[in-house]
Amino acid sequence: MFYDDDADLTLIQARRVAVIGYGSQGHAHALSLRDSGVEVCVGLQPDSTSRAKAADQGLQVATPAQAARDSDVIMMLVPDQHQRTLYREEIEPELTPGKALAFSHGFNIRFGYITPPDGVDVFMVAPKGPGHLVRREYVNGRGVPVLVAVDADHSGQAMDLALAYAKGIGGLRAGAIKTTFAEETETDLFGEQSVLCGATSQLVTYGFETLVEAGYQPEIAYFECLHELKLIVDLMYEGGISKQRWSCSDTCEFGDYVSGPRIITPDVKEHMKAVLEDVVNGSFAQRFIEDQDHGAPEFRVLREHGEKHQIEAVGRDLRALMGWIKTDDTDYQGSARRA
């Protein structure tokens, strides 16, 4: 583990940093680096709706090419599927020897969609939390743990620079773990698909459908299979599976032991191994990128199918009754967000 005392902030303060993108991670990195005494320029296209927001928050804004040209460190924080085109058209021509190219996720390096030139350091600083949390913790004097990795070290200082960058966004207040681009990418994609998003979403949906099809009220099914999931996950987050089991009733805990393995059977683990294989061999990445390159037809159909499910309509009605549920994500408005 690396902490604040293990990094020299002056290494990143001596550089000009271009943050390419101003979404969830982009705004957190740019503002926190700025507040850590780093000269920052945000790279955005002329028609980007984020340009005014970044400027209003006191940041210098330029096109991605201009930002990369005038900076020593270029942090790529645009979505995975857009990085390689943006890189090829605007970033790569500005990558002269001695500069550093940085990422918060290893997807494009791991699967070869971006191949930086010789003479350029390539490193990763990947916060283990969404951008709004990264920024909030920085402002509050704390930090979100980060992963750090180096893919190319032409200067001999790439890891030191990565740690300095991590310190600049507050990550070393919590701690950094050294990894590789391959390990970060493969475990991240696997975790999202097999547990955190894919499997959890499907498990919740199947539970909801099972109760509704058996004649129970959809509202009750929503509470039991989705709403209360947060209570369980929060307990796991605070103290692991053991605290979750300790906190629930004996009836609940006993059911956990005897019924959980009936649902999540050993063949589920075999399916997980197959998902991991698709991640490692690049077939998932290829499927995703090829779909995106053709206008994302598969992605759009899957998204629309999910949003039309009964659980979403029931959830919207019930959440409207819960005044305590607040979100600081003003961009999200359900299905309307993509209208």
Annotated active-site residue 27? The verdict is: no
Number of alpha carbons in the 13 Å side-chain half-sphere of residue 195: 9
Distance CA 28, CA 136 (A): 8
Place of tokens 């037809």: 297
DSSP 90-159: IIGGG--TT-EEEESS-HHHHTTS--PPTT-EEEEEEESS-HHHHHHHHHTT----EEEEEEE-SSS-HH
Q: Which of 27, 29, 82, 105 is catalytic?
A: 105
DSSP 284-306: HHHHHHHHHHTT-HHHHHHHHHH
Distance CA 312, CA 222 (A): 9
Strand extents, DSSP E, the chain? 16-20, 39-43, 60-62, 73-76, 100-103, 121-127, 146-152, 176-178
Residue 27 CB contacts under 8 Å (≥ 6 apart), including other chains: 53, 54, 57, 131, 135
Active site residues: 105
